[in-house]
Amino acid sequence: KAGVTQTPRYLIKTRGQQVTLSCSPISGHRSVSWYQQTPGQGLQFLFEYFSETQRNKGNFPGRFSGRQFSNSRSEMNVSTLELGDSALYLCASSLGGVGNTEAFFGQGTRLTVV
Amino acid sequence: AQSVTQLGSHVSVSEGALVLLRCNYSSSVPPYLFWYVQYPNQGLQLLLKYTSAATLVKGINGFEAEFKKSETSFHLTKPSAHMSDAAEYFCAVTAKNNDMRFGAGTRLTVKP
């Protein structure tokens, strides 16, 4: 079966702009989690959606938001981009939640803010 | 809140040698523990997970990890390193709320 698909793979944006990243989970998976990966901070949890509801949220400012659609596809939005938002953004899908079922990760979207 | 600490940001071994990557966790409730591997420009791939069924967990590619509650550890081992094992390895912990926390990662180098 198809894996987790993240689009686009690479993105370059200017400071102050906004960006939307997309994640299509594995068919049948209802949970999608987002992570930010940077060399300095490592992997940080952004939020998790399950059946269109945000179930968990990490410690990120309100500029970071997300949503999940009825087909479980998820989008992440970052407004008013800052240089520090440059990172690899990973999404993970699982059947019931990241904790006690296997999470499958996409290849990520590499965002560069200039 | 739960957290993990990976000891050693870089580990270098010779091909055929034992691989030992260290992970200690902190959790106020019984944890679920994971090891993931990441190759350059790729997402994370699950190596193995501990969900309280057995303390010694076997994963893919010959890796295994042992959950030691008394030491709050979940170290990853492989008896004989292969060149293809060179990658970054992440330990992660979560509890019932499904908020997964990752360690800082350990970059494994395998020398020929």
Residue A1, pLDDT score: 63
Out of A98, A104, A106, name the one closest to residue B100 (CB). A98
**Nearest C-alpha in A relative to B90:** A43
Confidence of residue B99 (pLDDT cuts 50, 70, 90): confident
Alpha-carbon gap, residue A80 to A78, rounded angstroms: 7
Q: Is the pLDDT of residue B40 over 90?
A: no
Distance from CA of B20 to the nearest CA of A (A): 21
Alpha-carbon gap, residue A73 to B45, rounded angstroms: 20
Confidence of residue B54 (pLDDT cuts 50, 70, 90): confident
Residue B105 contacts residue B4 (beta carbons within 8 Å): no
* B1 in contact with A, Cβ within 8 Å: no
Distance from CA of A73 to the nearest CA of B (A): 18
Residue B98, pLDDT score: 62
Residue A99, pLDDT score: 61
Sign, CA torsion A108/A41/B30/B22: positive
Residue with tokens 């990966």: A37
Residue A107, pLDDT score: 93
Burial class (CB in 10 A: 0-12, 13-18, 19+), B14: exposed
Alpha-carbon gap, residue A4 to A82, rounded angstroms: 27
Using DSSP, how many helices (H) and how many strands (E) does chain A show?
A: 0, 11
Residue A100, pLDDT score: 60
* A108 in contact with B, Cβ within 8 Å: yes
Q: Identify which of B64, B96, B99 has the alpha carbon closest to the alpha carbon of residue A92.
A: B99
Alpha-carbon gap, residue B97 to A100, rounded angstroms: 10
Least confident of A96-105, B5-14, B98-107: A96-105
Alpha-carbon gap, residue B80 to B103, rounded angstroms: 24
Alpha-carbon gap, residue B35 to B56, rounded angstroms: 13
Alpha-carbon gap, residue A48 to B95, rounded angstroms: 14
Q: Is the pLDDT of residue B95 over 80?
A: no
